[in-house]
Chains A and B, each alone.
Chain A
């Protein structure tokens, strides 16, 4: 138990170092753009692929489970919309990004640690935590909501394509289902969750990379820990945020 408190203490101390004014604004801006590209835009493909197929699966499962003639087929569109916007895009895609982006951040910073590149930054007088982790946190906070909105679109599109292709639900029914009782607040809820999850992924992964000691084996372990702990914290915060924002 005390080890958990030590780790949390180390994390808080590191975040204190991370959240300080960047040394040079221009260098920070260049890094931010580079991180948005490497952490965000390079994830577009996997996000699109998973979202489209998951939307399709949700649509097919819902359509097959509607057996009562009293339930209109437009419910398929409604169910796809609700599940994609409320849970699938913000949470499941964030968990997938925790794997993809989290391991990348932890292994990149961990490798820099074991090859003394972070020591070199410190010796030069650079705040290495701020220089390495802060642009990643801001980049993910900025780009993840974009990815999640894109995922919502792809999920709903995937559901529609599956319904039209299988002739289970007509386009009219599907679209009218999507429009039933739509509340803009659900988008706000999803994006709020996404921003929290983006911070968790980048800061927890950055932390495990930064505290790496040893060699290649330890970099691998740091990468695994980053993914596991980011995912666990995302799941916990998902419950807390849902309770706070939807009740």
Chain B
């Protein structure tokens, strides 16, 4: 479980996160949704420590992340896997080297053991015979799947996904969404997904937090989100031509 309590974050004069408190439960796919610029990416980066919070607290299973020093955070981060918007695969390494990277850095396994783990996680994300391809030779969906494989290589307890569907077609988006959900349930981990894709919300949103103008505006799940009377959330949910037609 990850808990964010009274988080505030400003950039210069711009108050991006305003007293955000939220609990992200274990074994569930927790979604953070909101319009572009609402502060959801900043919230996620505050949760993983890429941004320092101005005030408030982040805790991982009752371990206060905010007060940890560099070494303590380094240790905790070995329990975290993160999928970035563009995949963030290392350009100079092939697929196998990318996935093996955290194993090389943090384990003393033999090459054979590491290779076995790499092939296992690549198979898990339905990728085969791609070990020696460079990131530039992969499609968008494949890059995301390799990034997921790298994120789960160390058997993380917490998985963060920053807009996993950006730049993908609806079918591939669905594949990635289901993969994230399956991995969450299979490994019983705490997963937080940052998205503004309503398809993802409706298919994997076990828990949904709506961020509006830097505040936690609404919290529910994929069932309740369609029946809320919150006007700002309704504007977001039924904001597209397709969803507004379906609502009518």
A: residues with CB less than 8 A from B are 23-24, 27, 111-112, 115-117, 119-120, 122-127
Q: Are A23 and B90 in contact (CB under 8 A)?
A: no
Chain B 85-123 per-residue mask, 1 if CB under 8 angstroms from chain A, else 0: 110111100000000011011100000000000000000
Q: Are A125 and B91 in contact (CB under 8 A)?
A: no
The residue on A at minimum CB distance from B45 is A119
B82 at the interface (CB under 8 A from A): yes
> Chain A contact residues: over half helix, strand or loop, or mixed?
helix
> Chain B contact residues: over half helix, strand or loop, or mixed?
mixed
Q: Which one of A23, A120, A126 contacts B82 once the chains associate, using CB atoms below 8 Å?
A: A120
B245 at the interface (CB under 8 A from A): no
Q: Are B88 and A117 in contact (CB under 8 A)?
A: yes
For A111, the chain B residues whose CB sits under 8 A away are: 91
Q: Are A120 and B88 in contact (CB under 8 A)?
A: yes
Q: Are A119 and B50 in contact (CB under 8 A)?
A: yes
Q: A24-B104, A124-B102, A126-B105 are in contact. Are A116 and B84 (CB under 8 A)?
A: yes
Q: Which one of B74, B104, B160 contacts A125 once the chains associate, using CB atoms below 8 Å?
A: B74
The residue on B at minimum CB distance from A123 is B82
The residue on B at minimum CB distance from A23 is B105
Q: Are A124 and B77 in contact (CB under 8 A)?
A: yes
B: residues with CB less than 8 A from A are 48-50, 73-78, 80-82, 84-86, 88-91, 101-102, 104-106, 154, 160
Q: A115-B88, A116-B84, A117-B91 are in contact. Are A123 and B105 (CB under 8 A)?
A: no
Tell me the minimal C-beta distance from A155 to chain B in angstroms.
Answer: 34
Tell me the minimal C-beta distance from A1 to chain B in angstroms.
Answer: 20
For A120, the chain B residues whose CB sits under 8 A away are: 82, 84, 88, 90
Listed by A's residue number, 30 A-B pairs whose Cβ atoms lie within 8 Å are A24-B105, A27-B105, A112-B90, A115-B86, A115-B88, A115-B91, A116-B84, A116-B85, A116-B88, A117-B89, A119-B50, A119-B82, A119-B88, A120-B82, A120-B84, A122-B49, A122-B77, A123-B80, A123-B82, A124-B77, A124-B78, A124-B101, A124-B102, A124-B106, A124-B154, A125-B76, A125-B77, A125-B78, A125-B105, A125-B106
Cα distance, A117 to B78, chains bound together (Å): 16
Please provide the 3 A-B residue pairs with the shortest distance between their CB atoms, ordered closest to farther.
Answer: A125-B77, A120-B88, A116-B88
Q: Which one of A23, A24, A27, A119 contacts B84 once the chains associate, using CB atoms below 8 Å?
A: A119
